[in-house]
A and B are shown apart, each in its own frame.
Chain A
Amino acid sequence: MPERSQNDRTMIEISHVTRSYGAFKALDDASLVIREGEFFSLLGPSGCGKTTLLRMIAGFDNPTSGTIAVDGQPMAGIPANRRPTNMVFQSYAIFPHLNVEQNVAYGLRRLRLGAAEEKRRVEEALAQVSLTGLGKRGAHELSGGQRQRVALARALVMRPKVLLLDEPLSALDKKLREQMQVELRRLQQAVGITFILVTHDQYEALAMSDRIAVMFGGRIAQVASPKEIYQRPVNRQVADFLGGMNFVKAEIVEENGSSLVVDTLGFGRVKTEKPKAFVRNGGGATLGIRPERLRVLWDDASSKFEVAGRVIERHYFGEITHLIVEIPGLEKPLSVTETNDFGADDIPVGAPIRLAYDPDALVALAD
């Protein structure tokens, strides 16, 4: 996929936004900058505040405190119908009494563009979402994927500064979802509009976004590129939410501005980058390593960095095999995922095994 160069202009600025319902805080002092042309995802489990934040940008909800600005303009007091944002709803909210064309033209009607121009814009939007020729279809004659495309076209036709997508793919089946992920990303690259996607699916966020904000319990835990979020999660919660992670206990030997030196029982002494959110809590720390960053060492191959142990479980997943390996000294066995091209699926349970790792893959995690 071609990388589109983004400019650094700020499109959305969220500063110190809190939304409380009585004593409960749905969103707690969230600050965030989203750049123009960015595909930005709000990722987190249900109830983490991501939808609340999206709805506040759209104007369906208001911050209890804090401010939201879109394209430099503060949004306080501006109702949803006068904001330069448009939304693709989770349920799609296709108007059931209108056909596809009328749905797409719904918002244009108020702009009084004239019939010809309106028709041209509708056609263009339908073409963008590959629905050309389906304009006369009734709302209830559409499949789930088509409804999603209509919702998308209806929002895009308004040429918003920001397109908001509230779990737009959650109602689709797996195959269609994966196809739509690619299409949405392509579409965003083509139109260059800022997209903000709300999702609870980490793979969706990783696959589509330029940057991701991971949220838990109304707070933003980390904002970074997919790669960084995945490889260098700031804390255990983020690490865990984004996929499998082996956690290893460590003792801090040395701490300075940007790095940590720790001792572990299995992996020995390791020097690692210090996460921003790191707060020293006694002498202990936690290291994490993704299962695929541990490689099986075959026969007499060796590595500068390796651990030895014994296979205690083996799970076959087609293209990969998942091994559970007991390492002397580690309180919990390690998860290892290995591709099957060298015969990892044939390693007998109980066999001794050596694992190679890159010390850079060991990351220190805040708790």
Chain B
Amino acid sequence: MTAIRNILSRWLPAYALLYVVFLYLPVVFLPIFSVNTSPSPKFPLAELTLQWYRDLPNTPALIDATRNSLMVGIAAALLSTILGICAARAITRYRFPGRRAINGLIMAPLVLPEIILAVSMLLVMLQLGLELSLVTVVFGHVLVCIPYSLSVLTSGFEGFDRSLEEASADLGETAFGTFRRVTLPMVAPAIISSLLVCFTISLDEFIIAFFLTGTEPTLPIYIWGQLRFASKLPGVLALGTLLLVGSFLLLTVAELLRRRAARRTQNAGGAFA
């Protein structure tokens, strides 16, 4: 018994630490090798340089891909968050037949192989005679973003005490005033959080973009193209590092907002806690 307790108290934290190292291992090598003068990534590092970063703005293809990705990301984030708001509000506030089944269908892309999603959408779009473009990529990204948006928003909307809106009406506020003064301030953090999460997913998404894009590449597709050339690797690493930092910042903000939203709505029923 004491042996097991020992394992729990001593080895579990050690394991946890090791696991985190495993998780971060590939992530830390991106920035490390991105400042290495030698194009092949190996230790010991040759010399430190910011050359690869300086080259980035001078690569027109990269600039184009970045612009494409930003446009796709913003469009996908807006669209999936709007659709997510509708679904999350319906699920947290109303009871209706088929609620669970519909929720399951909307969440399904989370547990389906992306390649299947990608090729099936590709087939339909080609059948419909749609020209593959950034627009079709947006459609695909929205499908995979909605489950994440829905999760974030549901956790923000859940526990939103309906009596708060009633209290506002009771104190003389109109429906619109209630929405502006009570509902919106309380769910805004969850909405922003959903926008950020969806934007990040879209920015990094490769498989669906790979199938659904036309002639304009998004960033991951640009990176995929570069990966074939060993000499381009440091540039890719530099770009990857920037993306990493960007994603990290966005997600930190998203997480802080989500927590604030959750704390607020949970506190609404705090008297019963």
Contact, CB under 8 Å: A93 / B270: no
Contact, CB under 8 Å: A171 / B272: yes
A238 at the interface (CB under 8 A from B): no
A154 at the interface (CB under 8 A from B): yes
Provide the bound-state CA to CA distance between A257 and B272, in Å. Answer: 51
Contact, CB under 8 Å: B173 / A81: yes
User: Assuming A80-B166, A86-B170, A140-B263, is B271 touching A95 (CB within 8 A)?
Assistant: no
Residues of A close to B170: CB separation below 8 A: 58-60, 80-81, 85-87, 155
B168 at the interface (CB under 8 A from A): yes
Question: Which residues of A in the span 59-90 have a Cβ within 8 Å of any Cβ on B?
Answer: 59-60, 79-82, 85-87, 89-90
A241 at the interface (CB under 8 A from B): no
Contact, CB under 8 Å: B161 / A60: no
B28 at the interface (CB under 8 A from A): no
B164 at the interface (CB under 8 A from A): yes
Residues of A close to B61: CB separation below 8 A: none
B265 at the interface (CB under 8 A from A): yes
A91 at the interface (CB under 8 A from B): yes
User: Assuming A96-B186, A97-B185, is B271 touching A91 (CB within 8 A)?
Assistant: yes
Residues of B close to A154: CB separation below 8 A: 167, 171
Provide the bound-state CA to CA distance between A148 and B272, in Å. Answer: 12
What's the least CB distance linking B270 to chain A, in Å? 6
Chain B: which residue is nearest A157 at the CB level? B171
Contact, CB under 8 Å: A95 / B167: yes
Residues of B close to A82: CB separation below 8 A: 172
Contact, CB under 8 Å: B270 / A147: yes
Contact, CB under 8 Å: B268 / A107: no
User: Assuming A60-B166, A154-B171, is B267 touching A110 (CB within 8 A)?
Assistant: no
For A85, A95, A144, A155, the residue with the greatest tally of chain B CB atoms inside 10 Å of its CB is A95
Residues of A close to B174: CB separation below 8 A: 81
Interface residue count on the A side (C-beta < 8 Å)? 32
Chain A: which residue is nearest B181 at the CB level? A106
B247-272 near A? 1/0 per residue, CB < 8 Å: 00000000000000001110111111
Chain A: which residue is nearest B188 at the CB level? A97
What's the least CB distance linking A155 to chain B, in Å? 8
Contact, CB under 8 Å: A106 / B271: no
Contact, CB under 8 Å: A140 / B267: yes
Contact, CB under 8 Å: B173 / A110: yes
What's the least CB distance linking B167 to chain A, in Å? 4
A92 at the interface (CB under 8 A from B): yes
Contact, CB under 8 Å: B172 / A92: no
Chain B: which residue is nearest A105 at the CB level? B171
A157-191 near B? 1/0 per residue, CB < 8 Å: 01000000000000100000000000000000000
Contact, CB under 8 Å: A96 / B163: no
B169 at the interface (CB under 8 A from A): yes
Residues of B close to A107: CB separation below 8 A: 171-173
What's the least CB distance linking B98 to chain A, in Å? 20
User: Assuming A95-B182, A97-B186, is B270 touching A140 (CB within 8 A)?
Assistant: yes
Residues of A close to B268: CB separation below 8 A: 91, 93-94, 96
Contact, CB under 8 Å: A158 / B171: yes
Contact, CB under 8 Å: A139 / B267: yes
Question: Which residues of B in the span 174-194 have a Cβ within 8 Å of any Cβ on A?
Answer: 174, 177, 181-182, 185-186
Residues of B close to A58: CB separation below 8 A: 166, 170
Contact, CB under 8 Å: A87 / B172: no
Residues of A close to B272: CB separation below 8 A: 91, 171
For A59, A82, A93, A140, the residue with the greatest tally of chain B CB atoms inside 10 Å of its CB is A93
Chain B: which residue is nearest A151 at the CB level? B167
What's the least CB distance linking B166 to chain A, in Å? 6
For A91, A96, A148, the residue with the greatest tally of chain B CB atoms inside 10 Å of its CB is A96
Contact, CB under 8 Å: A96 / B264: yes
Residues of B close to A86: CB separation below 8 A: 170-171
A110-141 near B? 1/0 per residue, CB < 8 Å: 11000000000000000000000000000110
What's the least CB distance linking B109 to chain A, in Å? 33
User: Assuming A106-B171, A110-B173, is B164 touching A95 (CB within 8 A)?
Assistant: yes
Contacting A144 at CB < 8 Å: which of B167, B263, B271? B271
Contact, CB under 8 Å: A106 / B186: no
What's the least CB distance linking A118 to chain B, in Å? 13
User: Assuming A91-B268, A171-B271, is B167 touching A81 (CB within 8 A)?
Assistant: no
What's the least CB distance linking A139 to chain B, in Å? 7
Contact, CB under 8 Å: B166 / A93: yes
Contact, CB under 8 Å: A87 / B167: yes
Q: List 12 A-B contacts (CB under 8 A).
A: A60-B170, A81-B170, A81-B171, A87-B170, A92-B271, A93-B167, A95-B182, A96-B265, A106-B171, A139-B267, A140-B263, A155-B170
A sample of 6 more A-B contacts (CB under 8 A), given A95-B182, A148-B271, A158-B172, is A58-B166, A87-B170, A91-B163, A96-B264, A96-B270, A106-B168
